[in-house]
């Protein structure tokens, strides 16, 4: 008779052994993508009626599939926004799966929800939000922004209905022309209009510019999105001057801090975020600058009831949940089923302490400033903007898009770094997104030397 127990033990041992080796490795290759044809050749067909066995499946993953995925926690991964989860967070991610936790309701996962809510309360305090602020961990910034704006529109609908005022023919949200693409994505999903306001030359959206949009579009504007650290440049909008407009205009202030809001942990950057404490909602992604594994975005409402009112799903089989006042995370965003994705961050934060996080974020900001000084000092190089946080955007003077493409491809092919071309105002450039505590000044200098 087939011994299922023995087979399962062997599978678990195989997976845990690989996971241990991967988590404790400090020299995992950067790796690079492969073509579909090459993956077909190397991996072969893996799905069969009888299976190929765990040993074979894991071998294909380790030796074929994983090397075809760029290692996002590599210290020379400097494109987009990297990730650098702590060992504690990564290890506990296994525990979350192994424990068969459901994170959607208090009834089914009160212990997990309690731990997640402790983290959300801590974050809310760091951002200056009032006692009682809270929310939920969602998949990422895109879902966080969408859920926030859905709650904002619902709050506006309720306000106008109670005041017996007409609803606008088309709802609008105001944001910077340099706001993250997920804001426009949310607008498409919600069938609303985006009013893009041009920021100042330094990339910062300020209250005066927002005032003009509010005057022009009136009551149709239900929300203003301020960026707390843009993805492309790491620029923080003048949140305080935007928040000050709430004294004159009735709108929901949402702060998209998916990348940059974590910088509030550092004394070097906290001053840049004045005004966040007046936000109606904020997001920050722990899988970015808070050293958690994919995927986790903390969505925090000033008044969580506004989120609950907008997002609670009603069905007969859910009556047991929705007829109580219990805190069920599924009620606070555009989702129902959810993993307890905040627990790896909770475990890491509880293990190492907030001070370790402050030190790590501060180190990234210091390294960005140092390499920016190096770029300024080099002939033939030019900073596009002075860095505020950990993103450094620069040009190799005289290079075309094709030059950047060849250089970037060579870096990855030689496994020296992953730095992709970017652009601004029609001009090609490149950028260092500095986040990983293992990235060094010498690493960055070596990359610059390769552009000579």
* Domain regions of the chain by residue span: 1-30+33-67, 94-352, 354-449
Inter-residue contact 138 to 160 (CB < 8 Å): no
Of 270, 269, 443, the closest CA to residue 371 belongs to 443
**CA–CA gap between residue 142 and residue 425 (Å, rounded):** 24
Among the residue ranges 135-139, 173-177, 202-206, 316-320, the one predicted with the least confidence is 316-320
- Interior CA angle at 399 toward 229 and 180, to 5°? 20
Q: What is the mean pLDDT of the chain?
A: 96
| Cα(42)–Cα(413) distance, integer angstroms | 19
Distance CA 367, CA 360 (A): 11
Provide the pLDDT for residue 163.
93
Length of the chain: 452
pLDDT in tens, 348-381: 999 999 999 999 999 999 999 999 999 999 999 9
Q: Is the pLDDT of residue 183 over 50?
A: yes
Phi, psi of 151 (to 5 degrees): -65, -40
Q: What is the pLDDT confidence band of residue 256, given thresholds at 50, 70 and 90?
A: very high
- Sequential DSSP letters for 183-246: HHHHHHHHT-EEEEEPPPTTS---HHHHHHHHHHHGGGEEEEEEEBS-TTT-PBP-HHHHHGGG
Fold held by 354-449:
3.90.1150
**Can 94-352 and 354-449 be said to share one CATH topology?**
no
* Token pair belonging to 426: 């029609």
- pLDDT tens column, 409-435: 999 999 999 999 999 999 999 999 999
Rounded Cα gap, residues 179 and 175, in angstroms: 6
Which class would CATH give 94-352? alpha beta
What tens digit of pLDDT does each residue of 378-410 get?
A: 999 999 999 999 999 999 999 999 999 999 999
Phi then psi for residue 394, to 5 deg, are -150, 165
d(CA 363, CA 435): 9
Number of Cβ within 10 Å of residue 30's Cβ equals 19
Q: Quick check: 129 and 353 in contact, CB under 8 A?
A: no
Rounded to 5°, the CA angle 141-159-284 comes to 15
Q: What is the mean pLDDT of residues 219-234?
A: 96
- State the DSSP code for 62: I
> pLDDT digits over 101-148, tens only?
999 999 999 999 999 999 999 999 999 999 999 999 999 999 999 999
The secondary structure of residue 64, as a DSSP letter, is I
Q: What pLDDT score does 322 carry?
A: 76
**Nearest to residue 273, comparing CAs of 203, 318, 226, 231?**
226
Rounded to an integer, what distance in angstroms lies between the CA atom of residue 141 and that of residue 246?
24
Copy the structure tokens of residue 381: 């190089």
The model's pTM is 0.96
- Return the percentage of the chain with pLDDT > 90, whole number: 95
Q: What are phi and psi of 382, to 5 degrees?
A: -145, 130
- Distance between CA 184 and CA 181 in Å, rounded? 5
- pLDDT of 1 over the 50 cut: no
Contacts of 316 (CB under 8 A, 6+ apart): none
Q: What is the rounded distance in angstroms from the CA atom of residue 420 to the CA atom of residue 428?
A: 11
Rounded-to-integer distance, Cα 400 and Cα 218, Å: 44
Nearest CA to 259 out of 394, 445, 387 is that of: 387
Contact 73, 47 (CB under 8 A): no
Q: Find out whether the peptide bond into 373 is cis, omega within 30 degrees of 0.
A: no
Asked if residue 333 lies in contact with residue 144, where contact means CB atoms within 8 angstroms, the answer is: yes
Contact 84, 291 (CB under 8 A): yes
| Rounded Cα distance, 211 and 221, in Å | 11
> What pLDDT is stored for residue 2 in this prediction?
64
């Amino acid at each position: 008779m087939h011994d299922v127990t023995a087979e399962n033990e062997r599978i678990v041992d195989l997976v845990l052994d690989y996971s241990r080796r991967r988590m404790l490795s400090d020299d995992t290759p950067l790796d690079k993508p492969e073509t579909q044809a090459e993956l077909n050749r190397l991996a072969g067909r893996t799905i069969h009626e009888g299976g190929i066995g765990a040993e074979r499946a894991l071998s294909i993953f380790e030796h074929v599939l994983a090397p075809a995925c760029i290692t996002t926690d590599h210290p020379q991964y400097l494109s987009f926004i990297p990730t650098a989860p702590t060992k504690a967070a990564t290890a506990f991610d296994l525990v979350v799966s192994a424990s068969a936790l459901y994170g959607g309701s208090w009834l089914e996962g009160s212990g997990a929800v309690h731990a997640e809510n402790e983290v959300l309360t801590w974050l809310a305090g760091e951002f200056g939000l009032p006692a009682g602020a809270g929310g939920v961990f969602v998949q990422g910034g895109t879902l966080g922004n969408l859920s926030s704006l859905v709650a904002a529109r619902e709050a506006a609908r309720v306000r106008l209905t109670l005041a017996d005022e007409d609803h606008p023919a088309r709802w609008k949200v105001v944001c910077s022309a340099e706001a993250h693409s997920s804001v426009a994505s949310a607008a498409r999903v919600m069938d609303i209009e985006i009013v893009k306001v041009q920021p100042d030359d330094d990339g910062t959206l300020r209250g005066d510019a927002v005032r003009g949009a509010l005057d022009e579009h009136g009551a149709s504007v239900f929300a203003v999105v301020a960026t707390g650290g843009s993805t492309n440049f790491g620029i923080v909008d003048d949140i305080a001057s935007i928040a000050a407009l709430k004294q004159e205009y009735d709108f929901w202030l949402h702060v998209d801090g998916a990348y940059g809001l974590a910088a509030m942990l550092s004394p070097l950057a906290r001053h840049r975020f004045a005004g966040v404490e007046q936000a109606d909602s904020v997001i920050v992604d722990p899988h970015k600058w808070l050293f958690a594994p994919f995927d986790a975005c903390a969505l925090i409402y000033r008044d969580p009831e506004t989120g609950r009112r907008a997002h609670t799903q009603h069905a007969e089989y859910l009556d047991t949940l929705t007829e109580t006042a219990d805190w069920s995370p599924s009620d606070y965003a555009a989702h129902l089923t959810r993993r307890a994705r905040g627990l790896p961050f909770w475990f890491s934060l509880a293990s190492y302490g907030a001070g370790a996080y402050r030190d790590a974020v501060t180190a990234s900001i210091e390294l960005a400033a140092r390499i920016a000084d190096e770029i300024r000092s080099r002939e033939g190089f030019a900073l596009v903007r002075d860095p505020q946080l950990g993103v450094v955007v620069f040009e190799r003077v005289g290079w075309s898009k094709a030059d950047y493409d060849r250089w970037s491809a060579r870096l990855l092919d030689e496994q020296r770094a992953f730095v992709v071309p970017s652009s601004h105002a029609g001009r090609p450039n490149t950028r260092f997104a500095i986040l990983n505590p293992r990235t060094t000044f010498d690493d960055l200098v070596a990359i610059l030397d390769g552009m000579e």
